[in-house]
Structure 1
Amino acid sequence: MKIIVIGATGHIGSYLVPALLREGHTVYAVARGNKQAYGYQEDEWAGVHWIYATRDEFCADTRRLEEIAPDVVCDLISYHIQEVDDLLASLDTRVHYIQIGSIWTYENKLYLPVDEQHPKNARGNYGKNKGLIEDYLLDLTNKGLRRCTIVHPGHISGKWWVPINPQGNLNPRVYSDIKEGREIVLPHLGMETLHHIHSGDLTAIIIASIRQPDVSVGEAYIAAAPSAMTLRAMTEEMYVHFGHEPKIRYASWEEFASIVGETDAGVTLDHISHSPVCTPEKVQKQLGIHLKYSIMDILYEYMETT
């Protein structure tokens, strides 16, 4: 099949594009500038058709879209309904459109674990807009006007960039401090949660959706590791993994923020205020997905790579 990947060199595309090429598809990779993909290896990207353009520039090029005549479009970087609508206007109605959402669309949790039937009730604009896009695309699909699938990932992680750490931010020193047995400070009692997804597993979900359109069209799927984890559990397990007794200091939010600094504290607050706990049961059952990576697998893989 002819498949367009928009956002081809980011956290998802860096895994997805080589996997689609291995499947034998003709892949058109849309990327801004000439940014190299994470973990780029020339042989794995051989045969890809590069399109260097911003998302807006590409979507406005209706002639090029008509010439490509894709079977599938994987839209990894859409954040507003208007962006989606502008692209769909240039696509044949038979195209399978796969859009990447976010588990942050389920922000105010009414029950746990959160599944795809949970109300979409995000407070922040990011989650709100992702939820509006899902509703819009599924409505078009239910009316027979489009063929859409939505995938809602957790914290997108891979071995080539820093995953959200057990402190809830992106400071790589947290990993080295735990590995060396140094003390780590956690906010409150460390009972807030994180829920990652490895880009390899996310790629498998997208490919399964492409292979099984009779199942995936008209569906939204949560893409997350088998289980969420608390900050405390992640931290304790990592200390033990590296042969140390846990050295965790629990602090009030004010003390925590003063210790880690404004930038890291802001990222932590953003994540622990969501504290996602989701279930990937639907995608496992409907698409036959076997998730390879637990959260700890994700973190250890990154640490082994650095």
Structure 2
Amino acid sequence: MRVVVIGGTGHIGTYLVPGLVDAGHEVVVISRGSRQPYREDPLWVEVEMVTCDREAAEGDGRFGTFVADLRPDAVVDLTCFSTAQAEQLVEALDGQHLVHTGSVWSYGPSTLVPTTEDAPKHPYGDYGVGKLAIEEYLMAQDRVRASVVHPGHISGPGWMPIGPAGNVDPAVIESLRADGSCVLPDRGGETIHHVHAEDVAGLHQACLERPEAATGESFNSVCMQALTLRGYAELVARHFGHEPRLEFVPWAEFVTRLDPEQAALTMDHIGRSPMFSMDKARALLGFVPKHSVTDTVLEAIDAWVASQ
């Protein structure tokens, strides 16, 4: 296939684009040209790179036509955050397979876990509400064949993963690395559900290569297991050679010890306490994530430490 990947130099595209080339597809990447992929791969030399400021092109009403003029058989949209963006793209296409990157935030708080794709959705916050609206639009229209992939907390070498306190405060990792200590809210029983960027890419590719099974479907994209905050902190402490020294405090006290932005990020994660099922991807597409949750977070943390 000739596959156009929108936003192909980010976390997911770093793995997806070489994977598509390796599988024999002709790949065109649309990006702003402002950054390089997170990892080197010789297959990038076979990729057609196209520079486009999506926001500016959408403002002029020409982005959808710009994509259609590249003559794709399929499109992967990694950077769509509103129904207006989705509509402009879909209305310019004609029957292609469109794989859209959604988010587990579209579900809202976890209730029955592991959460499956047919669970009722009650998102909150602009991001989750917006991602659900896009999914509903794509599943209702009939101009393209649509599939949606809902990643959890995307992790991998090159950026700080969501950490054991449910945020990206580097001091949490440094403290666990130094002496195994960590402050957690309540009893640390809330869950966070990571996924390696390579597995998110792999599921997008599985949708492209099994269109008869993927069309009209959405798929969770997470590791096979989730971590509790407590379990995560213990894992990291022992990884650095320490017995865990965990302190549990009520939420009201916990937030006083954090930067307000980090506290808000923690609540974003533990307020949803995500834990999702990967059964549907395995049943319909034969896809199983390669990376365990422990390997995913430790690989990302080790890479971050090495970069300091």
Does structure 1 residue 135 correspond to structure 2 residue 132? no
Does structure 1 residue 147 correspond to structure 2 residue 145? yes
Does structure 1 residue 124 correspond to structure 2 residue 125? yes
Residue identity opposite 2:25 in structure 1: H
Give the superposition deviation at 1:58. Answer: 5.0
Segment drifting more, 251-260 vs 53-62: 53-62
Cα distance in structure 1, aligned partners of 2:290 and 2:190: 24
Cα distance in structure 1, aligned partners of 2:164 and 2:124: 24
Residue identity opposite 1:151 in structure 2: V
Cα distance in structure 1, aligned partners of 2:143 and 2:66: 22
Residue identity opposite 1:67 in structure 2: D
SS in 2 for 1:86: helix
On the 8 A contact 1:34/1:52 being kept in 2, the answer is: no
SS in 1 for 2:92: coil
Give the superposition deviation at 1:6. Answer: 0.8
Task: Give the TM-score, by structure 1 length.
Answer: 0.93
- Aligned partner (choices 269, 276, 299) of residue 278 of structure 1: 276
Residue identity opposite 1:137 in structure 2: L
Does structure 1 residue 74 correspond to structure 2 residue 76? yes
Q: How does 1:173-188 map to 2 (within 5 A)?
A: 173-188=171-186
Q: How does 1:44-193 map to 2 (within 5 A)?
A: 44-58=43-57, 60-61=62-63, 64-92=66-94, 94-140=95-141, 144-193=142-191
Give the superposition deviation at 1:61. Answer: 4.4
- Aligned partner (choices 253, 256, 260) of residue 254 of structure 2: 256
Residue identity opposite 1:86 in structure 2: Q
Give the superposition deviation at 1:47. Answer: 1.8
Segment drifting more, 256-265 vs 58-67: 58-67
On the 8 A contact 2:224/2:292 being kept in 1, the answer is: yes
- Residue 52 to residue 293, structure 1, CA distance change in 2 (3 Å): same
Give the superposition deviation at 1:4. Answer: 0.9
What's the C-alpha RMSD, in Å, of the aligned pairs? Answer: 1.7
**Matched residue, 1:13:** 13
Residue identity opposite 1:16 in structure 2: L
Residue identity opposite 2:50 in structure 1: I
Structure 2: which 5+ runs fail to align? none
Cα distance in structure 2, aligned partners of 1:112 and 1:101: 19
- Residue 263 to residue 56, structure 1, CA distance change in 2 (3 Å): closer
Does structure 1 residue 237 correspond to structure 2 residue 239? no
Give the superposition deviation at 1:206. Answer: 0.9
Cα distance in structure 2, aligned partners of 1:145 and 1:90: 9
Segment drifting more, 56-65 vs 252-261: 56-65
Residue identity opposite 1:37 in structure 2: P
Cα distance in structure 1, aligned partners of 2:43 and 2:169: 30
Cα distance in structure 2, aligned partners of 1:154 and 1:262: 23
Give the superposition deviation at 1:252. Answer: 1.8
Cα distance in structure 1, aligned partners of 2:154 and 2:162: 9
Cα distance in structure 2, aligned partners of 1:125 and 1:66: 29
Segment drifting more, 57-66 vs 255-264: 57-66
Residue identity opposite 1:131 in structure 2: L
**Matched residue, 1:22:** 22
Cα distance in structure 2, aligned partners of 1:70 and 1:121: 34
On the 8 A contact 2:17/2:44 being kept in 1, the answer is: yes
SS in 1 for 2:271: helix
SS in 2 for 1:121: coil
On the 8 A contact 1:115/1:278 being kept in 2, the answer is: yes
Give the superposition deviation at 1:62. Answer: 5.4
SS in 2 for 1:243: coil
Cα distance in structure 1, aligned partners of 2:32 and 2:160: 22
SS in 2 for 1:232: helix
Cα distance in structure 1, aligned partners of 2:89 and 2:39: 29
CA deviation profile, 1:240-269 (whole Å, cap 9, x unmatched) = 333321101111223222223222212111
Give the superposition deviation at 1:292. Answer: 1.5
Equivalenced residues, count? 301
Cα distance in structure 2, aligned partners of 1:290 and 1:158: 18
Give the superposition deviation at 1:158. Answer: 1.1
